[in-house]
């Protein structure tokens, strides 16, 4: 095994970049297609593709900002102007933003939600690694607004769908020190 292969190095270098540190240029159309093609390589028990992704283009960021504001107002009637403004601004950060949606609708092959979530997680990780390979930064965001009525309505989620997290892609403006990683021996054992 040639550990000098640059792909190995890139894989282990992936790290989360906060959306505020992801700036233009975002992925080109071709790069985005590669990122979605990577998602399509995810394992999928029952071949039900229990997930989808919804892009939020720049002309829809305003709508998302309003949805974040409504979500905050709904869960905290005392939220002040500064908090509402912060919630609104979250919609405008990374140049490429999308919602990852999990589908829990019953299917002929009975696939547990946990298995569906793993499939979505694999799709997401494939996308993050593809972005890394393209020298793009990526970050995941979530939070209490994920399934607020205002967001569910904006993204037209069906009864059985769940917004799991947002994926953010762009060019890394500033880097942070690498975090320490879990020690292999601490999460691997043998019977
Ligand atoms: C499902 C999911 C949701 C996440 N939501 C957030 C979030 O809301 N805010 C945030 O700062 N990071 C979020 N993250 C990113 C983690 O904070 C990040 O992966 C963690 O700090 C480890 O850093 P690393 O990805 O560089 O290893 C999320 C990650 C996952 C898997």
pLDDT tens string 53-64 = 999 999 999 999
* Percentage of the chain lying above the pLDDT 70 cut: 98
pTM of the predicted structure, to 2 decimals: 0.96
- The answer to whether residue 1 is domain-embedded is no
Q: What is the mean pLDDT of residues 24-48?
A: 98
Report residue 1's pLDDT band, with 50, 70 and 90 as the boundaries: low
- Mind listing the pLDDT tens digit for each residue in 82-141? 999 999 999 999 999 999 999 999 999 899 999 999 999 999 999 999 999 999 999 999
Ligand 1, atom 19, residue with closest C-alpha: 16
Residue 17 Cα, ligand 1 centroid: separation in angstroms? 9
- Residues 72/55, Cβ–Cβ less than 8 Å: no
Best probe residue, ligand 1, of 98, 142, 176 (max atoms within 8 Å of C-beta):
142
- The answer to whether residue 8 is domain-embedded is no
- The answer to whether residue 115 is domain-embedded is yes
User: Looking at residue 65, which CATH number applies to its domain?
Assistant: 3.40.109.10
- The answer to whether residue 123 is domain-embedded is yes
3-state secondary structure of 7: helix
The reported pLDDT for the residue numbered 72 is 98
Residues in the chain: 191
Report residue 151's pLDDT band, with 50, 70 and 90 as the boundaries: very high
Number of domains in the chain: 1
Report residue 10's pLDDT band, with 50, 70 and 90 as the boundaries: confident
Which residues, judged by CB distance below 6 Å to any ligand atom, belong to the binding site of ligand 1? 15-16, 18, 140-143, 165, 179
Best probe residue, ligand 1, of 53, 97, 131, 141 (max atoms within 8 Å of C-beta):
141
The reported pLDDT for the residue numbered 4 is 73
- Mind listing the pLDDT tens digit for each residue in 154-188? 999 999 999 999 999 999 999 999 899 999 999 99
> What whole-number distance in Å separates Cα of residue 13 and Cα of residue 182?
14
Structure tokens at 163: 């917004």
Domain span at 70: 18-173
- The answer to whether residue 120 is domain-embedded is yes
Q: Nearest CA to 163 among 153, 173, 178?
A: 153
Q: Given a cut of 80, is residue 2 above it in pLDDT?
A: no
Q: Nearest CA to 150 among 57, 53, 69?
A: 69
Ligand 1, atom 29, residue with closest C-alpha: 140
> SS3 helix, strand, coil % of the chain, rounded to 5?
45, 15, 40
Ligand 1, atom 21, residue with closest C-alpha: 16
6-13 and 113-133 helices, crossing angle to 10°: 120
Residue 165 Cα, ligand 1 centroid: separation in angstroms? 9
Residue 136 Cα, ligand 1 centroid: separation in angstroms? 17
For 176, other C-beta atoms within 10 Å of its C-beta total: 11
Q: Which atom of ligand 1 is nearest to the CA of 139?
A: 15
- The answer to whether residue 191 is domain-embedded is no
- The answer to whether residue 103 is domain-embedded is yes
Scanning the structure block, which residue is given the tokens 């039900």?
48
Q: Which atom of ligand 1 is nearest to the CA of 124?
A: 31
Q: Given a cut of 80, is residue 44 above it in pLDDT?
A: yes
> What whole-number distance in Å separates Cα of residue 167 and Cα of residue 107?
26
Scanning the structure block, which residue is given the tokens 């990577």?
38
- The answer to whether residue 99 is domain-embedded is yes
The reported pLDDT for the residue numbered 8 is 79
Q: What is the mean pLDDT of residues 49-76?
A: 98
């Amino acid at each position: 095994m040639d550990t000098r292969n640059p792909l190995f190095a890139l894989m282990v270098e992936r790290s989360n970049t906060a959306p505020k540190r992801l700036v233009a240029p975002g992925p080109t159309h071709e790069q985005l297609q590669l990122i979605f093609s990577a998602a399509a390589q995810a394992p999928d028990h029952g071949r039900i593709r229990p997930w989808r992704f919804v892009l939020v283009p720049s002309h829809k960021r305003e709508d998302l900002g309003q949805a974040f504001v409504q979500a905050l107002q709904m869960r905290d009637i005392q939220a002040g102007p500064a908090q509402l403004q912060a919630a609104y601004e979250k919609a405008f950060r990374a140049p490429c933003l999308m919602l990852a949606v999990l589908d829990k609708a019953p299917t002929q092959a009975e696939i547990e939600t946990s298995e569906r979530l793993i499939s979505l997680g694999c799709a997401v990780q494939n996308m993050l690694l593809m972005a890394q390979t393209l020298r793009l930064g990526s970050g995941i965001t979530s939070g209490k607004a994920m399934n607020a009525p205002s967001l569910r309505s904006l993204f037209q989620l069906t009864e059985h769908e769940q917004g799991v997290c947002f994926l953010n892609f762009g060019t890394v403006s500033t880097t942070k020190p690498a975090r320490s990683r879990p020690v292999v021996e601490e999460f691997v054992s043998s019977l």
